[in-house]
Amino acid sequence: MLQKPYNIGYTTGVFDLFHVGHLNILKRAKEQCEYLIVGVSTDELVMEYKKKHPVINFQERVEIVEGIKYVDRVVPQINRDKFAAWEKFKFDAMFVGDDWKGDALFNEVEKKLNEVGVNIVYFPYTPGVSSTLVKQKINI
């Protein structure tokens, strides 16, 4: 069996109204690492930075992500400090949708993580799908 480029991978998300874009990032991340840790944003964190409540509560979102075969471990994401997450989980790579590329937050994160040998791998955003679009379609 071919060795994957990374041992431990890490990605995060709200994973509200789970859709194929979420599945794509988890699948692509697992293709790149032996062990995938997924941080699911708590309800409080989502409220803090998105100023809205998730449709699906935290515990149910965790259960959904835990049920995905590409995911090895689910952890709560209680803040957006990716370097603190690295200090705790010691991942080799962090996987992110390319819609974050160039964002000031991620430029700083990328710089700090690169200094400790962690790569940030950007995956193409799945066009035409997002939790926001799903909500619009069902008028939430």
> Are residues 35 and 7 in contact, defined by beta-carbon separation less than 8 angstroms?
yes
Helices 104-115 and 82-89, axial angle in degrees (round to 10): 30
Active-site position among 4, 27, 30, 50? 50
Active-site position among 27, 51, 52, 111? 52
Burial 100-129 (b: 16+ CB within 10 A, else e): eeeeeebeebbeebeeeebbbbbbebbeee
Examine the residue annotation and report whether 82 is marked as an active-site residue of this protein.
no
Residue with tokens 């952890």: 75
Alpha helices by DSSP H, listed for 7-103, are 20-32, 43-50, 58-66, 82-89
Active site residues: 50, 52
